[in-house]
Amino acid sequence: MSSRRILCAALFALAGAAPAMAADHEIRIGEINSYSRIPAFTEPYRRGWRLALEEIEAAGGIRGRKLVVIDRDDAGKPANAVRIAEELVRGEGVVLLMGGFFSNVGLALSDFARRYRVLYLATEPLSDALVWSKGHRYTFRLRPSTWMQAHMLAAAAAGLPARRWATVAPNYAYGKDAVAAFREILQGLRPEVTFVAEQWPPLFKIDAGVVVRALAAADPEAIYNVTFGSDLAEFVREGRLRGLFEGRTVVSLLTGEPEYLEPLGAEAPEGWIVTGYPWDAVDTPEHRRFREAYERRWGEHPYMGSLVGYTAMKAVAALLEKAPDLDTETLVDTLEGLEFDSPVGRIRFRALDHQSTMGTWVGRLAVRDGRPVMVDWRYADGADHLPPDEVVRRLRPAE
């Protein structure tokens, strides 16, 4: 028997025995994320799940047992994430794994979960492959996928007069998925649309001058942007300087999220159509409770990361409360179709592909009193932006 198969068997046995390894009075889960690589998102994310964890503890834990989170930093590297996952399963007796930011890290953790039959809740990775072409029994995803958010934006873009489009996206799984999905959906809605240029800068290493000149040379009527973080700031700065955005509509994924929008300040490009999080304007009772609790606890407003982290921990708590035992197979069966309450309303994990129905907000960018904000926004329920079941069945391998 190969050493890899021996390790696989050992990990499988340890995963099944994980509850016994932890103290009887506690339940351990493992949280892996890129805390040092992209702190603008992951630090608010950690504050979000910590707030939810404190609320769970104040309410008596999980059936009287303490919920313990062992969190680790993968530094944005898939190999690190897999090594940490092994340590958490083998050495810490965790009953499930959650987290991940970058899509390549999420895919690596998903592969680990599949091989060793450990439940993995991907909280942030957006790659469509996670629940479709590489989907399997042991991985679930919380946030609306790349396809879902591209569908939201393409629906808005279809109403624009623009026919000639260009794209710019980071050259890794998330960026590629985002462009492919937007192109497919928009051309399905408007077959006359053409894409005249593509730019694929390396993640967080954009040469904005080169990108902007190439896009301008193609003379598109509209641009689909997928850059975020420091790449977004560079792209916006150079695009404004060279007049790229004048007379052109820009549709931009994630740009309305405060992690990425606030650093742009008064230089934020007005009129862009974006997905994001207008934290200060969402006034539903459930969101108001979350926002006020977050602000009391941390002395700052919530970010998208805060919302995702908080919601993820609430999902885990709902799962552990409902599951009759902590065996991995039982947890997976329980999570399929599970519904739970969140700051954005009721969310369900689809049994078909393990994608949740969590949505996001779609609107336009504006600058008010020197501060960038989302205006004219609406909440797009994820359940309304999922492909038909028969399409998912073709995309997802049979198990």
53-108 pLDDT tens trace: 999 999 999 999 999 999 999 999 999 999 999 999 999 999 999 999 999 999 99
DSSP character at residue 201: P
Check residue 22 and give its pLDDT. 46
Residues listed for the chain: 399
Chain-centre distance of CA 367, in angstroms? 26
Domain identity same for 152 and 275:
yes
**Same domain as 297, residue 248:** no
Nearest in space to 28 (alpha carbons), one of 65, 87, 71, 68: 68
Mean pLDDT in residue range 351-360: 98
Instruction: Tell whether the model's pLDDT for residue 19 goes beyond 60.
Output: no
Is residue 228 located within the same domain as residue 372? yes
The mean pLDDT of 45-56, rounded to a whole number, is 98
23: confidence class by pLDDT, cuts 50, 70, 90: low
* Cα separation values, 161 from 57, 63, 250, 336, Å: 53, 56, 13, 41
- Are 291 and 213 contained in the same domain? no
Instruction: Examine the domain organization and report whether 47 and 136 are in the same domain.
Output: yes
Residues 216 and 270 in one domain: yes
Residue 399 lies in a domain: no
Which tokens hold the place of 374? 């989302």
String of DSSP letters for 14-55? HHHHHHHHS-TTEEEEEEEE-TTT-HHHHHHHHHHHHHHHHH
- What pLDDT, in 10s, does the model give residues 283-334? 999 999 999 999 999 999 999 999 999 999 999 999 999 999 999 999 999 9
Domain span including residue 237: 147-280+360-389
Same domain, 290 and 222: no
Is the residue at 395 inside a domain? no
Please, what is the Cα angle at 96 between 95 and 101, to 5 degrees?
155
Which of left, alpha, beta for 63 (phi over 0: left; psi -120 to 50: alpha)? Answer: left
- Quick: pLDDT tens for 237-283: 999 999 999 999 999 999 999 999 999 999 999 999 999 999 999 99
Q: Quick: pLDDT tens for 167-223.
A: 999 999 899 999 999 999 999 999 999 999 999 999 999 999 999 999 999 999 999
As a whole number, the mean pLDDT across the chain is: 94
What is the per-residue pLDDT for 24?
73
Assess if residue 375 is contained within a domain: yes
* pLDDT greater than 70 at residue 7: no
Residue of higher predicted confidence among 56 and 4: 56
From first CA to last CA, the distance across the chain in angstroms is 25
CB 86 within 8 A of CB 108: no
Residues 181 and 296 in one domain: no
Is 262:272 a contact under the CB 8 Å cutoff? no
Helix (H, G, I), strand (E, B) or coil at 396: coil
Q: How confident is the model at residue 1 (pLDDT cuts 50, 70, 90)?
A: very low
Same domain, 276 and 189: yes
**Among 35-49, 102-116, 208-222, 385-399, which is the least confidently predicted range?**
385-399
- Nearest Cα to Cα of residue 68 among 320, 250, 342: 320
Total number of domains in the chain: 2
Q: Cα(209)–Cα(206) distance, rounded to whole angstroms?
A: 9
d(CA 119, CA 114): 8
364 near 255, Cβ under 8 Å? no
34 shares its domain with 169? no
Q: Per the structure block, which two tokens stand in for 279?
A: 């934290």
Amino acid at 208: A
Domain shared by 290 and 333, yes or no: yes
Examine the domain organization and report whether 262 and 294 are in the same domain.
Answer: no
CATH of the domain at 234: 3.40.50.2300
